Amino acid sequence: MPVDCYIVYEDNYPSTDEIKVLYDPNQLMLHYQKKDLGLTTEQFYESALDSCWFIFQYDHIVGRNQFLWTSKMIDKALDHMIIVLLHKHYPQKAILGKKAAHHLPIDIYDVLIQINDLNNSETHKDAVSLFMQLYRDEVVTYVEDTWVKGFEHVYQYLLTKYT
């Protein structure tokens, strides 16, 4: 287990990490409260939709040769999909996204790494293909009840085009 040692102050401490106070003679950290790292229902719904929505945005710009922007859309979709996958498999750290992705099942994590590695100006289409396959296999049944009406058509369009 990794251990990070650092100095914290009462007005500036990490609320997303477990901390153990070793020395606090004036008990300034007595009221420290760890932040909840799970998702609210609203945050889950937002990520559930955005995980596919940013691929739809990618689809609209991919033909313009704006490779920095296409990579950004894939990365945003990946960020949201990781949050959804964490909510499903490791909800107590879901809000951390990529920082906690290593807690996901190894087969899922390996695909996420592949998508990330393929997200560049030359192989971005391969990244989207893998993304949509993972979305179909691991995400869609978990999130489709949260979609706004008609979004299933967007999903089917992307799935057909990129897988």
**Residue in 16, 32, 36, 15 with CA at minimum distance from that of residue 24:** 32
User: Is residue 63, in this structure, part of any structural domain at all?
Assistant: yes
Least confident of 8-12, 104-108, 117-121: 8-12
Q: Is residue 68 part of a domain?
A: yes
Residue 123 in any domain: the answer is: yes
Residues 53, 142: Cα–Cα separation, whole Å: 16
The confidence band for 1, taking pLDDT boundaries of 50, 70 and 90, is low
Domain count, the chain: 1
For residue 18, tell me if it sits in a domain.
Answer: no
Neighbour tally for 57: CB within 10 Å: 17
| Domain contains 105 | yes
Does residue 14 carry a pLDDT above 80?
no
pLDDT of 8 higher than 90: no
pLDDT score for 146: 87
State pLDDT tens for residues 15-26.
666 667 778 888
Rounded CA separation 70/102 (Å): 25
Whether 1 is covered by a domain: the verdict is no
Decide if pLDDT at 34 tops 90: no
Q: Which of 133, 15, 141, 127 lies closest to 76, judged by CA?
A: 127
Residue 116: domain span:
41-162
